[in-house]
């Protein structure tokens, strides 16, 4: 099907309220002048950070959903995946990449597995192993510190990371397949750092001052900008700086407006400041 506009397939859950996953990714990618084509892995009334929520696993319906796309002969300029709730969903993403990508497709995987040294309760050891396999298909991965440690079998520590330690971890991840890696959320005193690794380039830190408390959806915001920039041909280091800066601005705006933490970041208020 001829289509002059670039397209990214975004594989993630859809939470009606709370600003995370697809409700973050769709407007960000659209703003960056790319058609966002959602692949919902599950449907939630609101994200799981709330005390109660409606949840509908969509895994058993995805084969029929994606069969229609296959019949249409679709391919995508970019494919990105976020939280995956089961081994079956990891398998579906692998099949999706094999079916709908070309040699020009940019594959971005955010291996959402845990944080602060703890793997999410829904993640089994088998799923962690399967995620390593899925990462091999990626051009870019955006793990946080916990996820990078788990994927590379590196002992986790909250603070005191040296550049050589992070470089060793990034090189281990690069051997799995991805040529571009950003390890996010590294505490460095009054700063939060992202460690940027690109094969053939010097690795370095990109730092921003800490602002406020953690909020849901910031990882989705970050990864969506990275994915759109990859498809638009923006240099990786420039893209990481842009994503880091926009997340911080969104955090500051949310604090200014008194947005509850569970409601994520109100990026909509400053979307005009996100440059394509």
Burial of 113: CB neighbours in 10 Å, binned 0-12, 13-18, 19+: buried
Residue 63 has pLDDT above 60, yes or no: yes
Residue 122, pLDDT score:
85
Residue 3, pLDDT score:
57
In a domain, 2, yes or no: no
Residue 121, pLDDT score:
87
Query: How many angstroms separate the CA atoms of 227 and 206, rounded?
Result: 18
In a domain, 274, yes or no: no
Residue 60 has pLDDT above 50, yes or no: yes
Residue 149, pLDDT score:
97
Residue 187 DSSP label: E
Residue 42, pLDDT score:
95
Overall average pLDDT of the 74-89 stretch: 96
Residue given tokens 């799923």 in the structure block: 127
Query: By residue range, what is the domain housing residue 92?
Result: 7-266
Residue 64 has pLDDT above 60, yes or no: yes
In a domain, 275, yes or no: no
CA distances in angstroms from 42 to 15, 38, 84, 144, listed in the order given: 8, 11, 9, 23
Q: Which tokens go with 93?
A: 């993403």
pLDDT tens digits, one per residue of 108-146: 999 999 999 999 988 999 999 999 999 999 999 999 999
Among 214, 197, 36, residue whose Cα is nearest residue 115: 214
pLDDT tens digits, one per residue of 210-257: 999 999 999 999 999 999 999 999 999 999 999 999 999 999 999 999
Burial of 84: CB neighbours in 10 Å, binned 0-12, 13-18, 19+: buried
Q: Into how many domains does the chain fold?
A: 1
In a domain, 1, yes or no: no
DSSP string of 206-242?
Answer: EEEE--SS--TTHHHHHHHHHHHHHHHT--HHHHHHH
CATH of the domain at 128: 3.40.1190.20
In a domain, 32, yes or no: yes
Residue 1 has pLDDT above 70, yes or no: no
DSSP string of 143-184?
Answer: -BHHHHHHHHTPPP-SS---HHHHHHHHHHHHHHS-SEEEEE
Residue 84, pLDDT score:
95
pLDDT tens digits, one per residue of 168-188: 999 999 999 999 999 999 999
* pLDDT tier for residue 4 given thresholds of 50, 70 and 90: confident
In a domain, 200, yes or no: yes
Confidence (pTM): 0.96
Among 109, 167, 157, 170, residue whose Cα is nearest residue 134: 109
In a domain, 132, yes or no: yes
Overall average pLDDT of the 15-41 stretch: 97
């Amino acid at each position: 099907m001829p289509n002059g506009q670039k397209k990214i397939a975004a594989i993630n859950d859809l939470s009606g309220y709370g600003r995370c996953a697809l409700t973050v990714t769709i407007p960000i990618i659209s703003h960056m002048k790319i058609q966002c084509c959602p692949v919902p892995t599950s449907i939630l009334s609101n994200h799981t950070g709330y005390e109660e929520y409606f949840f509908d696993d969509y895994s058993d319906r995805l084969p029929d959903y994606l069969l229609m796309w296959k019949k249409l002969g679709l391919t995508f300029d970019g494919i990105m995946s976020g939280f995956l709730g089961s081994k079956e969903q990891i398998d579906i993403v692998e099949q999706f990449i094999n079916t709908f990508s070309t040699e020009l497709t940019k594959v971005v995987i955010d291996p959402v597995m845990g944080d602060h040294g703890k793997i999410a309760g829904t993640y089994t050891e088998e799923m962690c192993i399967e995620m390593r396999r899925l990462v091999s298909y990626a051009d870019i991965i955006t793990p946080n510190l916990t996820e990078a440690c788990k994927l590379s079998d590196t002992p986790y520590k909250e603070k005191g990371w040296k550049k050589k330690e992070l470089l060793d971890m990034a090189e281990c991840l690069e051997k799995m397949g991805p040529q571009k890696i950003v390890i996010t959320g590294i505490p460095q005193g009054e700063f939060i750092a992202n460690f940027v690794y690109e094969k053939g380039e010097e690795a370095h830190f990109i730092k921003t001052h800490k602002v406020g408390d953690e909020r849901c959806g910031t990882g989705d915001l970050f990864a969506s900008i990275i994915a759109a920039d990859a498809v638009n041909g923006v240099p990786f280091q420039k893209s990481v700086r842009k994503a880091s800066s926009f997340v911080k601005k969104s955090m500051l705006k949310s604090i200014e407006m008194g947005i509850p933490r569970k409601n994520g970041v109100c990026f909509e208020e400053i979307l005009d400041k996100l440059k394509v």
